[in-house]
Amino acid sequence: MYRIIIIISILTLTISCKSKVGCGIDPLVIKSNDSIISKVESDSIGQKWWNNYLTKIKEPNLKTELNESYRLMIYNSMWESSKTYRIYKDSDSYKLVFKEFGGEQIERKNSTLTKNTESNISKEKWTDFQNLLENSGFWSLPVTIDRTGLDGTSWVLEGKNPDGNDCTNRTYHVVARWQPLDTMKVMELNYKLIEIIEK
């Protein structure tokens, strides 16, 4: 009898160790995130708006990107303006992109890209950001939190890893916050990405 219990215990441990939702992550959080992302993807009006906006600012849809990429978009709903910070791995080099679209003095219908730059970053900066992603648990952070409001800014941080994250096995994750001053992990990631671009 004890032998059967030991065998079952070993099998259970072996199976759970192979599970990608390990790493101390609550499987309910992963399930909730998957549900929210799936709901957003099934919202055809929202998806159409998002895809049109990406086209306007000449940005790729990260879900279909082949390179590992991370993008922060700070979107001002009042002016329909945004600042976009993106870093990505291109073979053995690392790139950063900064774009500014529209602004307070520009009429919405006349909004255009006012800044569009691309340059190289060091492997060290890329690795620093990777370490921060891992330490913050980015791939398992809640997609949204119960905090919304009128006007203000929305901060959307996306990640694409074609090989999948080691803990969650996700290839894409998004974390969206409105006026996210109270969400330290998210803001630490956001400010790190801005810092890489601005240095």
Task: Tell which residue, 156, 149, 152, 153, has the closest CA to residue 189.
Answer: 156
Per-residue model confidence (pLDDT) at position 127: 94
Residue 141 located in a structural domain? yes
Give the CATH number of the domain where residue 62 resides.
3.30.1560
Query: What dihedral do alpha carbons 176, 184, 33, 127 form, nearest 10°?
Result: 90
Residue 115 located in a structural domain? yes
Strands of the sheet containing 81-90, edge to edge, are 113-121, 93-101, 81-90, 69-76, 153-160, 172-178
Residue 12 located in a structural domain? no
Residue 170 located in a structural domain? yes
pTM of the model: 0.74
Span 171-199, mean pLDDT? Answer: 77
Q: What is the DSSP string of 104-156?
A: TTS-GGG--EEEEEEEEE-HHHHHHHHHHHHHHTGGGS-S--S---SSSEEEE
The CA angle 57-160-90, to the nearest 5 degrees, is: 80
Span 111-128, mean pLDDT? Answer: 89
Confidence tier at 124 by pLDDT (50, 70, 90): very high
17, amino acid identity: C
Residue 13 located in a structural domain? no
d(CA 35, CA 39): 6
Residue 53 located in a structural domain? yes
**Domain assignment of residue 75, given as a range:** 23-198
d(CA 188, CA 136): 8
Q: Higher pLDDT residue, 102 or 129?
A: 129
Query: Which of 31-40, 83-92, 158-167 shows the lowest mean pLDDT across its residues?
Result: 31-40
Residue 16 located in a structural domain? no
Residue 17 located in a structural domain? no
Other Cβ atoms closer than 10 A to 141: 21
Please give the tally of structural domains in the chain: 1
Find the helix or strand (DSSP H, E) in which 20 lies: none
d(CA 165, CA 19): 12
Confidence tier at 27 by pLDDT (50, 70, 90): low
Task: Tell which residue, 39, 40, 37, has the closest CA to residue 50.
Answer: 40
